[in-house]
């Protein structure tokens, strides 16, 4: 089973804003039941902001149970023990509340199966099944989903994992809590499918000014994954920078493409070409004479600038734009058979 990895990274400016709001990254995964569509309702992990943080896991799941269904913002109180369960396996809850293999031990293929509930807790009407996903960092299972349905004695259930991860920003360390809303926009990726490089790995960053998440199937520049703290430097001996007219390239589409795709693509390209907000790049859409995107950048004689201690190259090349466009195709931003070309403006 291939390891899944989500790497969250931020520029220093956006990290400071996130930290000021006391926001953490909240991660959840969708689960389907036999009588309800897939949804996420429990925060699997809650992660504090840093220059870069990688969350890795394998698709290892387990079953547990709770006696009540918490309201939003309340942590699940588990009563049982974690029972590792692979899709297609089936386990019963015995008379003592412990798990045991069902007879037969196989259930519906592709589902985690609860064959029979043979235990009643106190005066409760039944049990709520909890699905867990193993945290590779702690090698322990953490609550991922709780079924709102009450399972009385003699009942059964099944759960299907979609591997669709959702993440957002909100205040607090909320691991194991039931949720109903997020404080910021959300991002979603299906980790059952590899990225354009064949790996089950995605990089994501939140652009504060846009109020949006941007996710990529390829790692950003190394300097973005470990930005140094802000420092005070003396640039008094650096000569004045002469501003030159913007350099332009045109991305031309030779077949029809929806305006909504072009609009989304501008934000994606800006995130790939100017992740530090250091280059003076502007991207515009023109559909008056055929669909095209114009990319403009102001270059300087120094061919760069400093962000903290990192030198950021302000020179933009056509090859960079072509690479960003290909990543957009790989990440599903553009239909794969859409013809396009990058040319001097």
What are the tens digits of pLDDT across the range 52-67? 999 999 999 999 999 9
Specify the pLDDT at position 264: 85
Specify the pLDDT at position 72: 84
The alpha carbon of 178 is separated from its chain's Cα centroid by a whole number of angstroms, namely 19
CA distances from 13 to 50, 62, 197, 276 (A): 12, 39, 30, 9
Specify the pLDDT at position 335: 86
Specify the pLDDT at position 307: 36
- pLDDT band at 337, cuts 50/70/90? confident
Give tens-digit pLDDT for 125-156. 899 999 999 998 889 999 999 999 999 999 99
Q: Tokens 């800006």 label which residue?
A: 270
Q: Is the pLDDT of residue 330 over 70?
A: yes
Are 160 and 32 in contact by the 8 Å Cβ rule? The answer is yes
Give the predicted TM-score (pTM) of the model: 0.65
Specify the pLDDT at position 233: 31
Q: Is the peptide bond before 104 cis (omega within 30 degrees of 0)?
A: yes
CA distances from 178 to 40, 146, 148, 323 (A): 9, 8, 11, 41
DSSP state of 30: E
> Rounded mean pLDDT of 291-317?
54
| Residue 288 CB-half CA count within 13 A | 3
Phi, psi of 180 (to 5 degrees): -135, -15
161 or 280, greater pLDDT: 161
Mean per-residue pLDDT over the chain, rounded:
82
What count of other Cβ atoms lies within 10 Å of the Cβ of residue 72?
10
Specify the pLDDT at position 287: 76
126 or 312, greater pLDDT: 126
Locate the domains of the chain by residue range.
4-216, 228-344
CA distances from 325 to 256, 296, 341 (A): 17, 15, 9
Q: Is the pLDDT of residue 242 over 50?
A: no
| Residue 42 CB-half CA count within 13 A | 21
> Rounded mean pLDDT of 336-343?
84
Q: How many DSSP H helices and E strands does the chain contain?
A: 3, 22
Are 163 and 27 in contact by the 8 Å Cβ rule? The answer is no
> Rounded mean pLDDT of 24-28?
95
Contacts with 285 (C-beta within 8 Å, 6 or more apart), sequence order: 259, 262, 263, 266, 291, 292, 293
Q: What is the percentage of the chain residues whose pLDDT exceeds 70?
A: 83
Are 39 and 31 in contact by the 8 Å Cβ rule? The answer is yes
Q: Is the pLDDT of residue 236 over 60?
A: no
Specify the pLDDT at position 232: 31
Are 167 and 6 in contact by the 8 Å Cβ rule? The answer is yes
| Most confident of the ranges 121-130, 225-234, 240-249 | 121-130
Lowest-pLDDT choice from 75-89, 105-119, 172-186, 201-215: 172-186
Domain 228-344: which topology? Alpha-Beta Plaits (3.30.70)
Alpha helices of the chain — where are they, by DSSP H?
A: 12-20, 259-273, 318-330
Cα angle value 269/271/274 (rounded, 5°): 95
Q: Is the pLDDT of residue 274 over 80?
A: no
- 53 by Cβ neighbours in 10 Å (0-12 / 13-18 / 19+) ranks as middle
208 or 228, greater pLDDT: 208
Give tens-digit pLDDT for 2-24. 899 999 999 889 999 999 888 99
Closest CA to 117 of 131, 144, 98, 136: 98
Question: And the tokens for 146?
Answer: 């709780």
- pLDDT band at 289, cuts 50/70/90? low
Q: What residues form DSSP beta bridges with 33?
A: 36, 159
84 or 340, greater pLDDT: 84
Give the relative orientation of helices 259-273 and 318-330 as an angle to the nearest 10 degrees: 120
């Amino acid at each position: 089973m291939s390891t899944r990895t989500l790497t969250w990274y931020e520029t220093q400016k956006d990290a400071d804003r996130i930290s000021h709001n006391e926001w953490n990254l909240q991660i959840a995964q969708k689960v389907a039941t036999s009588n309800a569509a897939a949804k996420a309702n429990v925060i699997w992990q809650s992660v504090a902001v840093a220059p870069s943080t990688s969350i890795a896991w394998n698709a290892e799941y387990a079953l547990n149970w709770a006696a009540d269904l918490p309201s939003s913002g309340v942590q699940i109180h588990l009563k049982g023990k974690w029972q590792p369960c692979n899709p297609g396996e089936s386990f019963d809850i015995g008379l003592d509340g412990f798990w045991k293999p069902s007879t037969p031990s196989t259930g519906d293929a592709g589902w985690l199966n609860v064959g029979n509930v043979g235990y009643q807790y106190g005066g409760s009407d039944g049990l709520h099944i909890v699905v867990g996903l193993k945290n590779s960092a702690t090698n322990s299972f953490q609550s991922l989903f709780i079924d709102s349905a009450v399972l009385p004695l003699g009942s059964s259930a099944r759960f299907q994992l979609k591997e669709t991860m959702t993440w957002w920003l909100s205040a607090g360390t909320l691991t194991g809590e039931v949720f109903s809303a997020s404080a910021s926009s959300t991002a979603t990726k299906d980790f059952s499918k590899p990225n354009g490089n064949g790996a089950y790995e995605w990089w994501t960053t939140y652009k504060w000014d846009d109020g949006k998440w941007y996710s990529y199937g390829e790692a950003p520049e190394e300097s973005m994954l470990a930005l140094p703290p802000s420092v005070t430097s003396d640039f008094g001996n650096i000569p004045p920078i002469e501003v030159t007219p913007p350099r332009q390239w045109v991305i031309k589409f030779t077949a029809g493409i929806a305006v909504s795709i072009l609009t989304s693509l501008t934000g994606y390209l800006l995130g790939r070409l100017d992740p530090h907000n250091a280059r003076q790049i502007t991207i515009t859409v023109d559909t008056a004479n055929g669909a095209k995107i114009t990319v403009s950048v102001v270059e300087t004689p120094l061919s760069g600038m400093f962000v903290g201690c990192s030198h950021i190259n302000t020179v933009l090349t056509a090859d960079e734009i072509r690479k960003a466009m290909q990543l957009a195709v790989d990440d599903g931003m553009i239909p794969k058979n859409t013809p396009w070309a990058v040319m001097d403006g």
